[in-house]
Structure 1
């Protein structure tokens, strides 16, 4: 009797192992797309976010996807078809996160334009979001855009788009075609347009100031431009930034809406 009981227990443990292994492989397979999106997406891809947090969030969303979708991972873990499927999942996730990260580059473009006119581009510090030095004004704009992104639940929209992507682009047929790649490239051009429009109010005033300083230098050649122009640029730039903050915040919301619409178009089109 004891021998039969041990045999039945062994069979039960073996059956449990055989039953759970496909489920674990399915979770890992689904986590590839989600984890790739978290690597390139803003907020989730920040270097200040611990790796364990990202992996845990990807695993939790993977369980959600498996509960609402019928995902069939490749039968063999090690095989050419499996590597191709994993690469396709990674490409989809990287594309989704890259579109949002592209929009977050617009404030850096604006800070370069404004900072060069104000003469404060030399003031740089380590960016906690990207882990590399960037202008202080660019960090301020990035933090402002990140807070607005979180305030409009952009991170939740990203998770929703990741879940919906398994309906529009199920595993096994999840290759980006030429149309999707073209839309991603065209949205990259929107970054420069958005950065220019974001810096336009302050940049226009600083341009007018530089024109006035240039005319003064022609009228009075002995005038020291560095003693007059730099303090004037800093003063006008700070006042213009403080005045234009509400309008810049509104346009940052437009940038966020455009980026989320681009992600939705990439996923659902």
Structure 2
């Protein structure tokens, strides 16, 4: 019995490496507000539960080649988490477009997850996205995706071609789609605020006595908040599509790596 558990120990460690590195980069799990002990404990629990359900063809050797297996698992976990987070960061890009039109681009907030400067509306939409992910149990989908990743990238696979042309093409496609979806999210508000700018320009030409710079900024801010409130149902509809795109992108990445 003890010998059998010793043979399963390297498999457990490799599963733990992929899960831990995935939690470092994946949305929801990578937030700084989530304690590190909780992440490690959750990764250990999931690795222990899934230990008997993951098939291993060749035995994992206990020699220097084990370090290559560890590096491969870390790369796969980080790649999966980065792709999932990249799809979710689309809403922050959309918020940057809206902030630019509303005049909020000069006032940024500190993102508690990354510590970087992020736009105000982008941060608001990002936290709405996180709440939406929790409400539809997307965190369960992320964990299920990592467990199913062993079917496409087995644990006994020696290495993955993380720098292959297929991975580069996929990442380019994800970046392009991120900006396209961000533009679709921000287009109703940005388009309406552009019409407000045109109206203010016409007003400045017809009534020169009105100081457009004093009137225009509060008007654009008020109009922007009203438009954001009106477009919230469409925003959550796009989020539903975005969750499906996140799962599909993770599957495409695994197929390329496998």
| TM-score scaled by length of structure 2 | 0.88
- Residue 36, structure 1, aligned to residue 24, structure 2: no
SS in 1 for 2:61: coil
CA contact (8 A) 2:33 2:112 kept: yes
- Residue 224, structure 1, aligned to residue 208, structure 2: no
Q: How does 1:114-193 map to 2 (within 5 A)?
A: 114-171=98-155, 172-176=157-161, 177-193=164-180
CA distance in 1, matches of 2:235, 2:45: 36
2:201 aligned partner: 214
Match of 1:76 among 58, 62, 81: 62
CA distance in 2, matches of 1:197, 1:223: 34
How many residue pairs are counted as aligned between the two chains?
252
The structural deviation recorded for 1:82 is 2.2
CA contact (8 A) 1:40 1:98 kept: yes
1:200 aligned partner: 187
1:50 aligned partner: 35
1:199-239: per-residue Cα shift (whole Å, max 9, x none)?
Answer: 01111000111122223334445542211211111121111
Q: RMSD value over aligned CA atoms?
A: 2.2
CA distance in 2, matches of 1:268, 1:59: 26
1:139-160: per-residue Cα shift (whole Å, max 9, x none)?
Answer: 2101111111122221111111
2:12 aligned partner: 27
The structural deviation recorded for 1:21 is 4.4
CA contact (8 A) 1:92 1:174 kept: no
1:61 aligned partner: 46
1:69-111: per-residue Cα shift (whole Å, max 9, x none)?
Answer: 233664235x1x2222222111111111111110121111111
- Residue 265, structure 1, aligned to residue 249, structure 2: no
CA contact (8 A) 1:100 1:259 kept: yes
Runs of 4+ in structure 1 displaced over 6 angstroms? Answer: none
Structure 1: segments with no counterpart, 5+ residues: 1-14
